[in-house]
Chain A
Amino acid sequence: MGLATFDFEKPILEVERQIEDLTSQKSNPKISRKITELEKSLHELKVQIYGNLTPWQRVQLARHMARPHSLDFIKAIFTNWTEVHGDRNFSDDKAVVTGFGHFGERPVAIIGQQKGKDTKENLARNFGMMHPEGYRKAMRLMRTGEKFNLPIIIFIDTPGAYPGIGAEERGQAEAIARNIRDMFTIEVPIIVIIIGEGASGGALGIGVGDVVLMLENAWYCVISPEGCASILWRDRAMAARSAEALKLTATDLLDLKVIDETIPEPLGGAHRDPAATYENVRAYIAKYLERLTPLPVPDLLNQRALKYREMGVFVEDTKE
């Protein structure tokens, strides 16, 4: 198999190799029995390893080059995908794709942060790191969606907003701030799905939704584990420890009431069975479109505001 693998996957690979060896031999009942046994233990091993991933291992899975990216999801889930470009102001940020398509019969607006499959494409996509014009491009699409009453589906997958000179000159902070604010005024349902990396303001800049879903091995946090490690421990190698401390997995975010639901991935991660992953995501989009589209606009906007109004944990001590 051509997929890059991690150290923690080595025991699985070893058994897979044994099975391959046996399969290539001339078959006889004894070998068949052996293969069945090995397949059984392979499954158990996978459940054991993939069922107990550490936060840092999940971060690595979320970054796997072969993991399906936004356009893979878009092409698999929607029909008549029609990509549109640019922010009508400065340029076309290729770190984010925007367009329209049909979800079943229903036309929708679609936005996705786009990483590359290889280094060449990653350079063209700026590794999914948006510039201010990308945030403005996304907002332009949201406004068009709103105008024609199309629900908005957003796929998040970014290592962060781009930290560069041009990005600062063109108002990265302002672009993100304004998007976050204005997403509270968009009068159509917004479904946000974190499919890989959800790093900080770069993710949140297109990440305010009526419902926020997260794939099982995705991560979402205020800072990357490496960034946190280099600030707090002055050592990027402490990333595994900081991934633990930051509580950035889907399960953690569910506990902290930041996301609504976790979307399961196939054993071993989305890249091991992309078709099954698309199918899961499709089912969740269907469920929430069903739920959100009948809501009157004032109720929709109130619920969205209230959802974020409640976020945060503090103590209120009125005695004293």
Chain B
Amino acid sequence: MWFRKRKYTVLKPPVERRVEIPDGLWHKCGECLAITLAKDFEANQKVCPKCGHHEQMNSSERIISTFDPDSFEEDNEHVKPADPLKFFDSKKYSDRLVIYQKKTGMNDAIVTGTALCGGYRVAAGVMEFEFVGGSMGSVVGEKMTRLMERAIKERLPVIVICASGGARMQEGILSLMQMAKTAMACARLHKERIPYFTVLTHPTTAGVMASFASLGDMVIAEPNALIGFAGPRVIQQTINQVLPKGFQKSEFVKEHGFIDIVLERKDLRPTLINLLSFFAPWAKVSESGEKKAESA
């Protein structure tokens, strides 16, 4: 095969995020400030048991909570960012990249590969918000495109979990062109009738929302995620009025007809499995997927 396979075990835990919890024992909800045992919070998939606030997950946590245990096999991990514009502001872009690479243990803002989801073999892409705000530059565009090309070649349904502030400004026009490149790959998926599901998590905006994230056959969102094209601050400055309550939140976007389902985190996996059973029965490769998940 032309891609490299490796077991998905090397992702680093989110060290920084846990530092604020004393001794790692307690978790304080960012929304309602309720204190819960960190292990209960983790067991609840990082959803506050008091108010239901869905805290952001990093890509490795997402993989674990969405796919069958140990089923994710990364591909194209050696596609790395370059600095085509020799961009610098207060720092050089190339130096910034190194900082983010150290912080996240990743080369760029997306991890792609194959996985099982309830025994269905899928092509999977998971974005990493901690890497330059999940922004899409040449690497995200290339890996997304390869993922879709692989999905066509191997006839795999595609699941992409999005978390992104938009395009990677530091790659200038090339980052804008990744919108075209990924949308082109979506056009091919569409033509080949490969099922494509996108999961919008907080936040999914701008260039990513205006390209592959909006183009799923099914567009699913987590509750209360910020979803839109322009940032709320930009809109506020432009129109100089108070924004409506819940503006650009998942439920609001659903009410306006642009999201198919808003799902609590615990319901995401079973719903994806249902959707796979409707659109991709041919992708079922193992019966054990769901059982394994329950016993894990």
Instruction: Kindly state the separation between the CA atoms of A245 and B173 in the bound complex, as whole angstroms.
Output: 11
**A309-B184, A312-B177 known, 5 other contacts, Cβ within 8 Å:** A165-B247, A172-B210, A181-B190, A207-B180, A258-B174
Instruction: Kindly state the separation between the CA atoms of A315 and B172 in the bound complex, as whole angstroms.
Output: 17
Instruction: Kindly state the separation between the CA atoms of A207 and B180 in the bound complex, as whole angstroms.
Output: 9
Is B13 part of the binding interface, using a Cβ–Cβ cutoff of 8 Å? no
Instruction: Kindly state the separation between the CA atoms of A200 and B173 in the bound complex, as whole angstroms.
Output: 8
Chain A residues within an 8 Å CB radius of B80: 314-317
Are B173 and A222 in contact, CB atoms less than 8 angstroms apart? yes
Closest Cβ of chain A to B146, distance in Å, is 10
- B interface SS class: helix
1/0 per residue B231-268: CB within 8 Å of A?
A: 10011001101011001100000001110000000000
Are B89 and A233 in contact, CB atoms less than 8 angstroms apart? yes
Instruction: Kindly state the separation between the CA atoms of A173 and B205 in the bound complex, as whole angstroms.
Output: 8
Is B160 part of the binding interface, using a Cβ–Cβ cutoff of 8 Å? no
| Given contact pairs A308-B181, A312-B178, A312-B181, A170 touches B210 in the complex (Cβ within 8 A) | no
Is B186 part of the binding interface, using a Cβ–Cβ cutoff of 8 Å? yes
Is B125 part of the binding interface, using a Cβ–Cβ cutoff of 8 Å? no
Interface set, chain B 83-108, CB cutoff 8 A to A: 84-85, 87-90
Chain A residues within an 8 Å CB radius of B241: 165
Instruction: Kindly state the separation between the CA atoms of A318 and B2 in the bound complex, as whole angstroms.
Output: 12
Interface set, chain B 59-97, CB cutoff 8 A to A: 78-82, 84-85, 87-90
Are B169 and A232 in contact, CB atoms less than 8 angstroms apart? yes
Are A317 and B187 in contact, CB atoms less than 8 angstroms apart? no
Are B179 and A245 in contact, CB atoms less than 8 angstroms apart? no
Chain A residues within an 8 Å CB radius of B186: 181
Are B180 and A201 in contact, CB atoms less than 8 angstroms apart? no
1/0 per residue A14-34: CB within 8 Å of B?
A: 000000000000000000000
Interface set, chain B 152-195, CB cutoff 8 A to A: 167, 169, 171-181, 183-184, 186-188, 190-191
Are B183 and A222 in contact, CB atoms less than 8 angstroms apart? no
Which of A70-78, A246-254, A265-273, A280-288 lines the interface with chain B? A246-254
Are B138 and A222 in contact, CB atoms less than 8 angstroms apart? no
* A247, A248, A318 interface centre (most CB from chain B within 10 Å): A247
Closest Cβ of chain B to A241, distance in Å, is 8
Are B211 and A180 in contact, CB atoms less than 8 angstroms apart? yes
Interface set, chain B 198-218, CB cutoff 8 A to A: 205-207, 209-215
Select which of B188, B231, B256 is within 8 A of A170 by beta carbon.
B256
Interface set, chain A 155-197, CB cutoff 8 A to B: 161-165, 167-174, 176-178, 180-182, 184-185
Are B181 and A311 in contact, CB atoms less than 8 angstroms apart? yes
Is B228 part of the binding interface, using a Cβ–Cβ cutoff of 8 Å? yes
| 5 residue pairs A–B, Cβ–Cβ below 8 Å | A173-B209, A177-B210, A178-B215, A184-B184, A200-B176
* B177, B241, B256 interface centre (most CB from chain A within 10 Å): B177
Are B178 and A163 in contact, CB atoms less than 8 angstroms apart? no
Are A309 and B145 in contact, CB atoms less than 8 angstroms apart? yes
Chain B residues within an 8 Å CB radius of A313: 82, 84, 138, 171, 174
Is B139 part of the binding interface, using a Cβ–Cβ cutoff of 8 Å? yes
Closest Cβ of chain A to B74, distance in Å, is 13
1/0 per residue A251-265: CB within 8 Å of B?
A: 011001010000000
Are B239 and A164 in contact, CB atoms less than 8 angstroms apart? yes
| Given contact pairs A163-B238, A168-B248, A308-B181, A231 touches B229 in the complex (Cβ within 8 A) | no
Is B230 part of the binding interface, using a Cβ–Cβ cutoff of 8 Å? yes
Are A245 and B89 in contact, CB atoms less than 8 angstroms apart? yes
Is A297 part of the binding interface, using a Cβ–Cβ cutoff of 8 Å? no
Are B82 and A201 in contact, CB atoms less than 8 angstroms apart? no
Are B139 and A314 in contact, CB atoms less than 8 angstroms apart? yes
Chain B residues within an 8 Å CB radius of A252: 173
Are B258 and A177 in contact, CB atoms less than 8 angstroms apart? no
Interface set, chain B 128-148, CB cutoff 8 A to A: 137-139, 141-142, 145
Q: Which 4 A-B pairs have the closest CB atoms?
A: A163-B230, A312-B138, A177-B214, A313-B84
Instruction: Kindly state the separation between the CA atoms of A252 and B171 in the bound complex, as whole angstroms.
Output: 12
Are A248 and B173 in contact, CB atoms less than 8 angstroms apart? yes
Instruction: Kindly state the separation between the CA atoms of A170 and B252 in the bound complex, as whole angstroms.
Output: 11
Select which of A178, A228, A315 is within 8 A of B81 by beta carbon.
A315
Instruction: Kindly state the separation between the CA atoms of A167 and B210 in the bound complex, as whole angstroms.
Output: 13
Chain A residues within an 8 Å CB radius of B244: 165
Is A109 part of the binding interface, using a Cβ–Cβ cutoff of 8 Å? no
Are A222 and B210 in contact, CB atoms less than 8 angstroms apart? no
Instruction: Kindly state the separation between the CA atoms of A248 and B169 in the bound complex, as whole angstroms.
Output: 12
Select which of A167, A182, A256, A309 is within 8 A of B229 by beta carbon.
A167
Are A169 and B229 in contact, CB atoms less than 8 angstroms apart? no
1/0 per residue A195-213: CB within 8 Å of B?
A: 0000011001101100000
